[in-house]
Structures are given as C-alpha cells and as structure tokens.
Amino acid sequence: MPKTLVVLTGPTGIGKTAVSIELARSFHSEIVSCDSRQLFKELHIGTAVPSEEELQAVPHHFIQTHSIYENYNASRYETEALSVLDKLFQQHDILFMVGGSMLYIDAVCNGIDSMPDADPEIRADLKKQLEDEGLESLRLQLKKLDPAYYETVDLKNPARIIHALEISLMTGKPYSSFRTNPKKERPFRIIKIGLNTDRELLHNRINRRVDLMVESGLIDEARKVYPQKHLTALNTVGYRELFAWFDGEISEEKAIELIKRNSRRYARKQLTWFRRDEEMTWFTPDETARVIEHITQQIKTNG
C-alpha cells in the first residue's frame, strides 16, 4: 500500500488539535506537528501546545523539541520533517501532519529551493532604511517586489521582511520563488484537509482562547522570556503585545485586546493562503466522521 500523509490544517483557534487526535487514534497513527511556534520548548501557553493528556493519547513529533535560541526556519523544518516521516512510515501506512504554519506545510508538500546567501551590504542598507524611514517603507517595497510573500508574511516582523527584500534585491527574483518552485516529488501521496467554520464563530473561539491563555498564566510565561524579546522566535502574536505592555507603551487591557485582534488577522491571512490550494478539501471541526470517511475513500480510490 502506498504511504499517505494527511495534512490537517486551518486557521488558528479552529480546533485542529482535538480533530487530529481523533483521526490519529482512528487510523492507529501518529502526529507530526507543523506549527512553527509549538516546537519551542520555552513556550507553552501562548503557543497553545496540546495538553499532557492530548500528548499521551497519540504520539506527537515537533512539539517543544527546539529552543528559541536556535535559528529555525521552513527550510530546516523541511529537512527534519522528511527525515522523521521516513522513519515513521516504516511502521505506519498513514501519518498526520497537523498545524497552521503555511510555509512549513508548503516546505514539506512542495519543497523549498536552495536559498542563496544574503549580501551583507544589502542587509545593512535595508536596516538603515528601517531606522530612517520606518517599517512601512520596507513593507511597500516588499509589496512591489514580491506581492505573493507580502500576503503571507508577518508584516510586523522586520527581520522576515528584510530577509525577503535582501534575497529579492540580490537575485532580481521574488523571494517567494525560492520557496515554492518547482514542486518536489515526495515518496508518499498527500491528502489535504482544511478546517473552517462561520467567521463570527471562529472569532469568538479565538477571543475565548486568548482569555483562557491569560487565565492559564500567559503573562507570567511572557515575563520569563521577556529578556530575550529580541529573538525572532518571540516576535510573534501573544508575546510581542505583552512585551509592549512591559515596556510601558500600552496598558495590560490594550495588550490583551491586541492579541485577540492580531490573532483574528492572522487567521484571515491563513485562510487566504489555504483557499488558494485546489487540493484542499474543507470540513467544519465537528465533522470528524466525514473526514475519516473522506480519507478512507481517498485511500481506496487511489490505492
């Protein structure tokens, strides 16, 4: 039987963890996380790491396995995830890759071309541009040079914007072209499942999840890593808003409000990305039985 990788994805807060555990248990399989934040062992609450009970229900991989001090990216994930999948496929015919990190999913499904080394002079010029003209200047430049990456990148993350610009300026080609073309052949077939629901319901779920994170100790967790706020891994929703409060720039109430707003915005960005994928089949989070039926049918049809 051909090996099958089921990619289960969707916007933040949609309920991927609960559905993935049901699926993995149903198929006696394991879960490979493709969440670019849950792999950091110093972060737990703000990244919505599965509970101990959930982690024990099904074997998980790439959950709190790396450090925020490491220089981790989609290219490295591609290499490590394919290695883990190769080993797991020796014991399983079907595996589940679960998460909402768009570039990580793309790296495993399509591959990333070799990224050229950046030019330090171009990087220095872009950093000076950031200091003199602000982040908006770099955003507009990226929108012009690489509109595809502009639609998916965290526009509040200057490090990622600068990196994309330096590659684009150095090569004369969009940074995104090095990430997705050409599509690499994989020694397993891929079934893509997307989860989504009514927009208002999704927003309510996101808001409630942020409240639960705060109740569970998110602020204390953010204080512990605050001294390392300069690290790329911490320039992310749920932490940078609290860092702004710690720095005296905004109030606690405003920080929590911004976490909710920025999480909702990120969810919209994820959906924009995933909806472009014609291979994706969509379900709601309460349709696990239908998802199981769909996967089973796909395996039979293409087996």
Query: Mean pLDDT throughout 191-215?
Result: 97
Give the pLDDT confidence of 148-176 residue by residue, as tens digits. 999 989 898 998 999 899 888 877 888 88
Biggest CA–CA distance in the chain, Å, is 59
Q: What pTM was estimated for this model as a whole?
A: 0.82
Average pLDDT of the chain? 92
Instruction: Name all domains of the chain by residue range, CATH numbers in brackets.
Output: 4-113+182-302 (3.40.50.300), 120-180 (1.10.20.140)
Query: Mean pLDDT throughout 277-292?
Result: 96
Question: What is d(CA 181, CA 166) in angstroms, rounded to the nearest whole number?
Answer: 19
Residue 73: predicted pLDDT: 83
SS (H, E, C) 116-143: CCCCHHHHHHHHHHHHHHCHHHHHHHHH
Q: Are 90 and 24 in contact (CB under 8 A)?
A: no
Give the pLDDT confidence of 231-250 residue by residue, as tens digits. 888 989 999 999 999 999 99
Residues 6+ apart with CB under 8 A from 73: none
